[in-house]
């Protein structure tokens, strides 16, 4: 595993539009207040001159919600579908989501998350076929 490094939360661009309320509740239980140092590093990648989340939005949101200014991150070296992430980045920017704090009013229930986010992401792939 790569060596984690610290990044300021306001320096990382989200690539999703919502936080899943069910997942948030599960992770808040997994990482109770005072255990923020145990939050797994967030994978990030550079795209178009920005550092973006490739995963871990909910963990980063918890850190932000608890007043942390930075979080452990690792460079994501997985072979990701760049087109999907570029599309998600465009969506985030068009909704004026530039930091994890911008998701504070975008916490939605699991069923809505499946329709509003997961289905949209899956449609990216199906539209390219």
- DSSP class of residue 77 equals -
Query: Could you tell me if 100 and 14 are in contact, meaning their C-beta atoms sit under 8 angstroms apart?
Result: yes
Half-sphere exposure of residue 113, counting CA atoms within 13 Å on the CB side?
14
* Domain edges within the chain: 5-128
Answer whether CATH 3.90.1530.10 is correct for domain 5-128: yes
Taking only the tens place, the pLDDT of each residue in 14-37 is: 999 999 999 999 999 999 999 888
- In the chain, the N- to C-terminal Cα span, in Å, equals 34
Q: Could you tell me where the beta strands, DSSP code E, fall in the chain?
A: 5-8, 12-13, 19-20, 42-47, 50-53, 70-75, 107-108
pTM for this structure? 0.91
Q: Which helix (H) or strand (E) holds 16?
A: none
Taking only the tens place, the pLDDT of each residue in 30-85 is: 999 998 889 999 999 999 999 999 999 999 999 999 999 999 999 998 887 788 88
Query: Is pLDDT larger for residue 124 or for residue 64?
Result: 64
């Amino acid at each position: 595993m790569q060596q984690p490094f610290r990044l300021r939360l306001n320096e990382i661009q989200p690539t999703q539009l919502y936080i899943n309320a069910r997942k948030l509740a599960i992770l808040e239980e997994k990482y109770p207040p005072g255990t923020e140092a145990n939050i797994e590093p967030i994978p990030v990648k550079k795209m178009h001159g920005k550092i973006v989340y490739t995963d871990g939005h909910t963990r980063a949101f918890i850190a932000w919600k608890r007043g942390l200014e930075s979080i452990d991150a690792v460079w994501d070296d997985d072979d990701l579908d760049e087109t999907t992430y570029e599309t998600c980045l465009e969506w985030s920017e068009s909704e004026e989501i530039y930091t994890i704090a911008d998701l504070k009013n975008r916490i939605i229930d699991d069923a809505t998350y499946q329709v509003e986010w997961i289905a949209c992401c899956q449609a990216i792939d199906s539209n390219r076929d």
